[in-house]
Amino acid sequence: QVQLVESGGGLVQAGGSLRLSCAASGRTFGGRVMGWFRQAPGKEREFVAAIGGGGSTAYADSVKGRFTISRDDAKNTVSLQMNSLKPEDTATYSCAAGRLPYSNSITRSEGGYLYWGQGTQVTVSS
More confident residue, 9 or 102: 9
How far apart CA 21 and CA 115 sit, in angstroms, is: 16
> Which of the four pLDDT bands, split at 50, 70 and 90, describes residue 28?
low
What is the arithmetic mean of pLDDT over 33-46?
Answer: 96
Q: Which of 38, 59, 52 is nearest to 106 (CA)?
A: 52
Residues 47-104: tens digit of each pLDDT: 999 999 999 999 999 999 999 999 999 899 999 999 999 999 999 999 999 998 888 8
**pLDDT of 2 over the 90 cut:** no
How far apart CA 80 and CA 24 sit, in angstroms, is: 14
Q: What's the pLDDT score for residue 64?
A: 98
